[in-house]
Structure 1
């Protein structure tokens, strides 16, 4: 049985709707937290302070004619301890975001954005990129881990706008990355 993109998107929307209904059951909600601010947080790194970037990674954001939304590239290898400038260019027709976090943090923030679509994000690991513009995010990676980056505009990650970052020790670095 072949499943269409539209069917998958509808199923994802229904699941998110159910999660949203469950989360807003009248119980007190925890305030929105940033993992890198918490003790014993998921190891995503931190804002670099005055450190100069070791490298720049250019990422293009775009939509396809068939309805997919993509980051290109969508998989990155970064050396532990590196300070990286992400230069994200939105070549699409829609406004997008770039959010860097642990897999759990991305899931939590996606749900938060579903519940509060007009909220303004104020975090060092997040940028908004209007159509036709370029934004920059500079980040220091301080733990060997796997991270995710995603667009948090409701529905965009479901349409394919996400990627992974593998933070590795120098010796584990694959050739050419």
Structure 2
């Protein structure tokens, strides 16, 4: 399988396991909430997100900007079965755990959300503040 070169996004770039600065656990459940809902990281920090789905429904964790998440959520409503495979997305089955490594090399305000149809609309989202170096 060919490895794609990490693609720079406004909210950062896929991180490498050997460069992780710290791990952050994100819990998600069927109340359509993430815990914690707000994160603060430093520009340049590489985070290992550990996602725990404590619900009985499939959930996901997608990084982005308010605009990209709004657009993507609208697409998901039209095509609920749409497959994802980006480095900034994690799908976590009920009672399972997922993981994502991301380097926040851009300062700013970013968001994360579950874009499964209905979940985003129910408020399943959070924010990440990346503090400039």
Normalised TM-score (structure 1): 0.68
Q: Runs of 5+ in structure 1 lacking a partner?
A: 1-35, 171-177
Q: Which residue of 2 is the match for residue 125 of structure 1?
A: 88
Q: Of the two, which has the highest radius of gyration?
A: 1
Paired residues, number: 128
Contact 2:26–2:36 (Cα < 8 Å) also in 1: yes
Q: Distance in 2 between matches of 1:81 and 1:147?
A: 14
1:50 Cα shift?
A: 5.6
1:159 Cα shift?
A: 1.4
Q: Distance in 1 between matches of 2:14 and 2:55?
A: 28
Q: Secondary structure at the match of 2:12?
A: coil
Q: Secondary structure at the match of 1:152?
A: coil
Q: Distance in 2 between matches of 1:56 and 1:137?
A: 10
Contact 1:51–1:83 (Cα < 8 Å) also in 2: no
Q: Runs of 5+ in structure 2 lacking a partner?
A: 1-5
Q: Distance in 2 between matches of 1:112 and 1:51?
A: 35
Where is the strand percentage greater, Structure 1 or Structure 2? 2
Q: Distance in 2 between matches of 1:109 and 1:162?
A: 13
1:37 Cα shift?
A: 4.3
Q: Which residue of 2 is the match for residue 140 of structure 1?
A: 103
Q: Distance in 2 between matches of 1:166 and 1:63?
A: 25
Q: Distance in 2 between matches of 1:110 and 1:157?
A: 7
Alignment of 1:63-74 (within 5 A): 63-64=30-31, 69-74=32-37
Q: Distance in 2 between matches of 1:89 and 1:37?
A: 26
Runs of 4+ in 1 over 4 A off after TM superposition: none
Matched, 1:110 2:73: yes
Q: 1:48 aligns with which of 15, 20, 31?
A: 15
Q: Distance in 1 between matches of 2:41 and 2:95?
A: 27
Contact 2:64–2:111 (Cα < 8 Å) also in 1: yes
Matched, 1:101 2:64: yes
Where is the helix percentage greater, Structure 1 or Structure 2? 1
Alpha-carbon RMSD across the aligned residues, in angstroms, is 1.6
Q: 1:91 aligns with which of 36, 43, 54?
A: 54
